[in-house]
């Protein structure tokens, strides 16, 4: 049987450490590395990150938008980044934040989670704000092929609160409802769940139950202002399920591969010091 994404991620976090590094080729970062803001510069950037970190980091997270802005040539680079990272041994989380309905949602599932697609990744980020049920094609495709989905729940941007903290008819917050749906989806499987949530490390204290029986991607560390020492305050009892994500604070160390590896190792060591030891938890009940 195909190993589930949850199991593969848990293994990667145990053996390589709990760290996700974004591949975010901002124009300013390309220039800082001495590369042009064009498909050739994009290729050099992506190849450098993969060669430096693909053999060491548990998860690499390419931000699709920075490749899409270069059109078809940028998408071709993204395909090679995905293939290279997976070949090097890192899990690939495609940060695309897709969300739609019906046949369009199915097409996104086929693009990012079907092994026959050149963009197929180990997991993809998804937006549930057309209703959690709209993500069913993504979730079904992921579970069929041993891949995963990270659903936006409590994001690191301050504007997110106006939607995510709103109360629904059941007197549950929108974010709480999303967390409930993910928790129930993971209960239907075995082991650590393959459907995770995105919960920003900049969030502060929350009363939401963050234990969804699967991984919690924690963006916002480094350049966005959060530090590893904020993680226990935000995640509480769900701390062992956290996958901390760094981007610019690691990438600015490039393009020298040794410097990139040192920056990633420093980030990994910092989060290891504050994350509670032991296996990621799965809520019982």
CA–CA distances in Å: residue 16 to residues 57, 254, 265, 283: 6, 21, 10, 24
Q: Is 73 a catalytic residue?
A: no
Q: Which of 61, 73, 97, 272 is catalytic?
A: 97
| Parallel/antiparallel/unpaired status of strands 242-246 and 216-218 | parallel
Measured in whole angstroms, the distance separating CA 126 from the mean position of its chain's CA atoms is 10
Contact 132, 178 (CB under 8 A): yes
Residue 127: burial class (beta carbons within 10 Å; 0-12, 13-18, 19+): middle
Residue 102 main-chain phi, psi, to 5 deg: 55, -130
CA–CA distances in Å: residue 157 to residues 55, 67, 154, 219, 226: 31, 22, 9, 10, 12
Beta-carbon contacts of residue 4 (< 8 Å; ≥ 6 apart): 143, 146, 189, 190, 191, 192, 194
Contact 196, 135 (CB under 8 A): no
Q: State the residue for tokens 């659903």.
A: 151
Q: Which residues are catalytic?
A: 97
């Amino acid at each position: 049987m195909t190993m589930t994404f949850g199991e593969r991620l848990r293994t990667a976090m145990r053996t390589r450490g709990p760290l996700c590094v974004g591949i975010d080729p901002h124009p300013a970062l390309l220039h800082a590395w001495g590369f042009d803001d064009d498909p050739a510069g994009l290729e050099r950037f992506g190849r450098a990150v993969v060669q430096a970190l693909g053999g060491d980091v548990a998860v690499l997270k390419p931000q699709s938008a920075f490749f899409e802005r270069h059109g078809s040539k940028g998408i071709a680079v993204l395909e090679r980044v995905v293939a290279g990272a997976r070949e090097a041994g890192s899990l690939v989380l495609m940060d695309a934040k897709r969300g739609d309905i019906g046949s369009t949602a199915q097409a996104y599932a086929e693009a990012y989670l079907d092994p026959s697609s050149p963009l197929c990744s180990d997991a993809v980020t998804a937006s549930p704000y057309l209703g959690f049920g709209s993500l069913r094609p993504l979730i079904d495709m992921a579970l069929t092929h041993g891949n995963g989905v990270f659903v936006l729940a409590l994001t690191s941007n301050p504007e997110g609160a106006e939607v995510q903290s709103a109360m629904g008819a059941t007197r549950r917050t929108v974010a709480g409802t999303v967390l409930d749906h993910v928790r129930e989806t993971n209960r239907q499987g075995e082991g650590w769940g393959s459907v995770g949530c995105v919960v920003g490390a900049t969030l502060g204290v929350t009363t939401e139950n963050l234990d969804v029986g699967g991984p919690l991607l924690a963006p916002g560390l480094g350049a966005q202002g959060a530090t590893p020492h904020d993680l226990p305050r935000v995640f509480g009892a769900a701390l062992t399920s956290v996958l901390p994500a760094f981007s610019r604070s690691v990438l600015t160390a490039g393009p020298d591969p040794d410097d990139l590896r040192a920056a990633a190792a420093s980030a990994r060591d910092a989060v290891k010091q504050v994350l509670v030891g032991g296996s990621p938890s799965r809520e019982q009940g």
